[in-house]
């Protein structure tokens, strides 16, 4: 699933194509699941001839600020994403190889702009959403989100307070979008590995030092991943990221420590018992 760095990459792509441009062509698939009740005609009428003033993101949600409401809100789900002609599509570590054909398959919305640019959102598994909101920041789903680790990570004392006040398992807490918007499975596993924290521990059991270390690692991981535009080949080779996929029984870290896979809070979790306690 696209997590914060992958979604930020999508935001940057959309911004490069759409910001300051007027939508002169809008085509929508007839998909009541992805559009969640809005029919294609409603979407077209709402967006056609509207100018994109800004492209914004919080957590895994992206929205266009238009020159008049309603504003479109995009969520990529498990396998969705933005595409534009000539740009290399992002390949998720656990996903299929991107199809270079144009237009791409599984298009849900195609937006053409006044300079000839084109932006398409695809979603093969139909778990993404394209919604209309009058005031996206103050309406669900965005209004229900917690802090964004890239945009407004709490101060160290506040982060400690938030973590220690919860009784949830720490891995589950990190995945709760009401707590940390944009953190998904690989980021949570990476932050806990680099912090040396067992993913099964209760949040309230973390010491202030451990919680501060977790905050620092979460911050550095997200910033590094965003800085390389979610190109996972450029992530540090010491990261657990490169060793966590496929549930391989012989997987080891760069130091030779065994990587194990367990289920925590219903999610597959990669961790290193020798390094996390």
pLDDT at 88: 79
pLDDT at 124: 93
**Residues across the chain:** 277
Cα 158 from Cα 144, distance rounded (Å):
19
Compute CA distances 22 → 43, 135, 263, whole Å: 15, 20, 47
* Catalytic, out of 5, 6, 8, 60: 60
- Told to judge if 141 belongs to the known catalytic residues of this protein, a careful annotator would answer no
- Told to judge if 118 belongs to the known catalytic residues of this protein, a careful annotator would answer no
pLDDT at 89: 74
Per-residue pLDDT of the chain (277 residues; tens, 9 = 90+): 899 999 999 999 999 999 999 999 999 999 999 998 788 999 999 999 999 999 999 999 999 999 999 999 999 999 899 999 988 777 676 556 667 788 899 999 999 999 999 999 999 999 999 999 999 999 999 999 999 999 999 999 999 999 999 999 999 999 999 999 999 999 999 999 999 999 999 999 999 999 999 999 999 999 999 999 999 999 999 999 999 999 999 999 999 999 999 999 999 999 999 999 9
- Told to judge if 171 belongs to the known catalytic residues of this protein, a careful annotator would answer no
pLDDT at 87: 83
pLDDT at 152: 97
pLDDT at 189: 98
Residue with tokens 């398409």: 120
pLDDT at 94: 59
pLDDT at 97: 67
Closest CA to 128 of 257, 2, 266: 2
Please give the backbone phi and psi of residue 72, each rounded to the nearest 5 degrees, phi first.
-80, 140
């Amino acid at each position: 699933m696209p997590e914060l760095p992958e979604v930020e990459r999508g935001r940057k792509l959309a911004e490069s194509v759409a910001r300051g441009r007027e939508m002169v062509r809008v085509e929508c698939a007839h998909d009541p699941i992805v559009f969640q009740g809005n029919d294609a005609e409603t979407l077209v009428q709402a967006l056609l001839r509207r100018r994109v003033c800004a492209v914004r993101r919080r957590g895994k949600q992206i929205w266009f600020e238009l020159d008049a409401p309603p504003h479109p809100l995009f969520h990529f789900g498990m396998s969705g994403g933005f595409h534009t002609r000539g740009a290399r599509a992002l390949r998720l570590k656990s996903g299929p190889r991107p199809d270079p054909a144009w237009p791409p398959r599984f298009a849900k919305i195609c937006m053409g702009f006044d300079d000839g640019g084109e932006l398409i959102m695809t979603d093969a598994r139909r778990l993404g959403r394209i919604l209309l909101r009058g005031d996206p920041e103050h309406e669900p789903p965005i209004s229900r989100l917690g802090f964004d680790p890239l945009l407004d990570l709490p101060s160290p004392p506040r982060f400690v307070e938030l973590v220690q006040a919860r009784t949830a398992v720490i891995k589950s807490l990190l995945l709760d979008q009401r707590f940390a918007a944009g953190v998904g499975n690989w980021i949570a596993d990476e932050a806990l590995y680099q912090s040396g924290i067992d993913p099964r521990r209760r949040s309230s059991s973390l010491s202030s030092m451990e919680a501060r270390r977790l905050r620092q690692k979460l911050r550095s991981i997200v910033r590094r991943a965003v800085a390389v535009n979610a190109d996972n080949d450029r992530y540090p080779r010491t990261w657990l990221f490169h060793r966590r996929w496929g549930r391989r029984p012989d997987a080891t870290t760069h130091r030779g420590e065994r990587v194990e896979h367990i289920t925590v809070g219903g999610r597959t979790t990669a961790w290193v018992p020798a390094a996390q306690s």
